[in-house]
Structure 1
Amino acid sequence: MSSSRKDDHVRLALEQETAKLRSRDFDDVRVVHHALGAVNVDSVSLDVEVADRTWTLPFYINGMTGGSEFTGKINQALAIAAAETGIAMASGSMSAYFKDPSCAPSFTVLREENPHGFLMANLSANASPEQAREAIELIDADALQIHVNAVQEIVMPEGDREFEHWGGHIKAIARAVDVPVVVKEVGFGMTGATVRTLSSLGVAYVDVAGNGGTDFARIESARRADRFSHLNGWGQSAVESLIDARGASRDTGIPLFASGGVRTSLDVLKALALGAKAVGIAGGFLATVREDGPEALIREIRTWEAQLRSMMALVGARNVEALTHTDLVLTGSVREYANARGFDLSHFARRSGKASGGSHE
């Protein structure tokens, strides 16, 4: 049952990718152009520090799959691309391994093909500390993602119906493991209040993982006879979540990752400019590797790297941190969300100090 469900997830996720059922909130983020603000491309560094390691790219392959022979082959292709490009990556949920240990090779292949790369294990908030330690050991992980997915579970025919213990589990796992814990949504977004709660539980990083990418409510609805589609599109986008959570991130010191609906290297730049430490890509990279293999994904990652470096030079950012001083104009549904939630967006448009009569903020 679990193996079949994993295969269904991949098939339905690829169908969504083909149908382009994605949020356009990144299009509501406009980068202000300063004609004399560019710097030399070769002066730009893409390095970011995560978990006491240097990532040479500020974007990564986010958790997708594993748990069956079919998905193991996908993980192998993803790991080959990660090893060749140096990009960090996360496993898909390893909960399947604890139900059926025979599927371990679909996860261990990640480390076998990528022996020196930065790799994140992935478990649900239902996991025990013992399972967390075992998952980390199984793939020699450098960090642990704990995914929270109440919306998916509600729509999933065989999903969980009890969620109040998740906070206690996350706290226990964070105390028990010796690698940083990243808590991520699976595509429904985060708020500042959630980030503050996670800070109190000992979490090291938060992936706001907004809607607009792979919609697991839609996937699980497609697996039901009654098509429980009312929650399709539920939640906040990555852009809205970054705006909502930025104050909490600053106050608690917890860095934010962002994922969900990232289509291009320009979306990566916008997410970084909104305060993300790094940006995760899942569905788009999955489609590339399934259609054309790891060599195509290697070319795509290298293309994104070159494009991101060039665009950072264009906006005068010599490093990722400098992108947070890039002037942005936020419009459309993103502005509507921010206004309704009480967030002032005006400062984003004059952060560089190049606004007429403005000052650096």
Structure 2
Amino acid sequence: MTSAQRKDDHVRLAMEQNRAHSGHNQFDEVSFVHHALAGIDRPDVALATSFGGIQWQAPLYINAMTGGSAKTGDINRDLATAAAETGVAIASGSMSAYLKDPSCADTFRVLRTYNPDGFVMANINATASVDGARRAIDLLRADALQIHINTAQETPMPEGDRSFSSWAAQIERIVAGVEVPVIVKEVGNGLSRQTVLLLRELGVRVADLAGRGGTDFARIENGRREPADYAFLHDWGQSTAACLLDARGTGLPVLASGGVRHPLDVARSLALGARAVGVSGGFLRTLMDDGLSALVTQLSTWLDQLAALQTMLGARTPTDLARCDVLIHGTLREFCADRGIDTGPLARRSGPLGPFEDVHDLHDLHDLTGSTR
């Protein structure tokens, strides 16, 4: 099977999975405490966010999806157009195909061609060379580099990697060898607290937690096997909500992606400490089912509704959502208990019931110096 065929298979299987998804995930176990007089005036609300030397117009981004075939190049063109029209950041899909076969460059380059002034992230895997990382950045004139780590996807992938011990050292070499901020992300199985702390030691600027709850790539790769004998890896890992709670106090800015279904999940993620929130499968489904115009409308609506939620909750900025009181329920609360995470202070951080919790723990404020477009 060619790389282009594999990329097209990924899109097809991801869409089948997205359409069959039940809709419930652990974001439903996070709720805001309603304070009826907390609201502010809509003109006082802003959506801009900054983290790790990066500044964005809004705390929402189109996360890594695809590229490498003619069909996926068309998808990337439309995603880039939607990003340009709404001002949200965008990440490429894995550029491994381009690094192996430069003839597919245009299927990725469209992300910059159709979004000339936007914030674009190139995406590579942890086995890429420093030279490969630079080539990916140069192709897109990328403002940041994503490195994805995905052992639970590679394991059932028929042609996947089987050697993982060198990944941390290679990430460190790439961080030292490129001139743009490096964001390390999972692909849907989550980053544990220990992993986030290690990434900080490696010099990584930002971690995208990318937890369980959205597209399940272990399930996709198992669906490509004959026989499909890795079903026991389906739903592997931690949810995005669990990862956000686990990563508190690590001193590294974190992004949230994986299982984000609507603007309330965006607000929940920001309240749990994310600096911005990414979506892949949900936006791809809108594009594939209803077209580019529908995706632009969806992105614009989400931004408007996020601003409405901030207005109701009294959060002038996305960062202020991390001062709002939230309750943790059900299996997510059990996860926190097992991991030694005290959720009580989250429910009383907004005022007289207790002191303000340090927003984003203040340990990573040193990362907010400098800026990237």
Bucket of the pairwise TM-score, normalised by the shorter protein = over 0.9
User: Quick one: percent identity of the two aligned structures?
Assistant: 53
Measured in 1, the distance between the counterparts of 2:108 and 2:181 equals 19
- Residue matched to 1:93: 94
Amino acid at match of 1:335: R
* 1:302 maps to amino acid: S
**Any idea what the Cα deviations from partners look like across 1:92-113, whole Å, max 9, x if unmatched?**
0000012221111100011000
Helix, strand or coil for the counterpart of 1:4?
helix
Deviations 1:237-282 (A, max 9, x none): 000001111121x3xxx20001000000000000000000100000
The match for 1:266 is 264
Q: 1:243 aligns with which of 233, 242, 245?
A: 245
Equivalent residues in 2 for 1:276-287, closer than 5 Å: 276-287=274-285
Within the candidate set 306, 313, 317, 1:319 is matched to 317
Change over 3 Å in CA distance of 1:196–1:52 after alignment to 2:
closer
Q: Deviations over 1:285-315 (max 9, x none)?
A: 0011111222111100110011000100111
What's the TM-score once normalised by structure 1's chain length?
0.96
Which residue of 2 is the match for residue 7 of structure 1? 8
Distance 2:355 2:284 in 1: 43
Alignment of 1:1-361 (within 5 A): 1-21=2-22, 23-50=24-51, 52-227=53-228, 228-248=230-250, 250=251, 254-355=252-353, 358-361=354-357
Q: CA deviation at 1:320?
A: 1.2
Which residue identity lines up with residue 165 of structure 2 in the other structure? Answer: E
| Contact 1:23–1:213 (CA under 8 A) maintained in structure 2 | no
Q: Give, in angstroms, the shift of residue 56 of structure 1.
A: 1.3
CA–CA distance in structure 1, aligned partners of residues 123 and 259 of structure 2: 20
Moved more, 54-63 or 123-132: 54-63
Q: Which AA in structure 2 matches 1:66?
A: G
Q: What is the DSSP-based 3-state SS (H/G/I as helix, E as strand, rest coil) of the residue aligned with 1:236?
A: coil
Query: 5+ unaligned residues in a row in structure 2: which ranges?
Result: 358-373
Instruction: Name the SS for the 1:322 alignment partner.
Output: helix
What is the root-mean-square deviation of aligned Cα atoms in Å? Answer: 1.1
Distance in 2 (alpha carbons) for counterparts of 1:148 and 1:18: 25
Q: Distance in 1 between matches of 2:248 and 2:24?
A: 20
SS in 2 for 1:6: helix
Q: Deviations over 1:215-239 (max 9, x none)?
A: 0000001001121111000000000
Tell me the TM-score normalized by structure 2.
0.93
Report the secondary structure of 1:17's partner residue.
Answer: helix
State the SS of the aligned residue for 1:246: coil
How far apart, CA to CA, are the structure 1 residues paired with 2:123 and 2:34?
39
Structure 1 contact 21–212 (Cα < 8 Å) conserved: no
CA contact (8 A) 2:185 2:210 kept: yes
Indicate the SS of the match to 2:211: coil
Equivalent AA in structure 2 for residue 234 of structure 1: W
Is the Cα contact below 8 Å between 2:51 and 2:253 reproduced in 1?
Answer: no
CA 22–151 in structure 1, closer or farther in 2 if over 3 Å, else same: farther
CA pair 272-122 structure 1, distance change in 2 beyond 3 A: same
CA shift, 1:354, in A, is 4.5
- CA distance 1:173–1:23, shift in 2 (3 Å): farther
Q: Once the 2 structures are TM-superposed, how far is the Cα of residue 50 of structure 1 from its aligned partner?
A: 4.2
Which amino acid is the alignment partner of residue 335 of structure 2? Y
Q: Distance in 2 between matches of 1:50 and 1:229?
A: 38
1:191 is displaced (CA, Å) by 1.2
* Whole-angstrom distance in 1 between the partners of 2:79 and 2:6: 20
Q: C-alpha distance in 1, partners of 2:221/2:319?
A: 38
Report the secondary structure of 2:247's partner residue: helix
Tell me the amino acid that sits aligned with residue 230 of structure 1: F
Q: CA deviation at 1:55?
A: 1.2
Change (3 A) 1:165 1:23: farther
Asked whether the equivalents of residues 111 and 139 of structure 1 are also in contact (C-alpha less than 8 Å), the reply is: yes
Q: Secondary structure at the match of 2:146?
A: strand
- In structure 1, stretches of 5+ residues that fail to align are none
* Cα distance in structure 1, aligned partners of 2:52 and 2:350: 29
Shift in alpha-carbon separation, 1:21–1:135, aligned structure 2, 3 A: farther
Give a deviation string over 1:22-52, Cα, whole Å, max 9, x none.
5510100011100011001111010012454
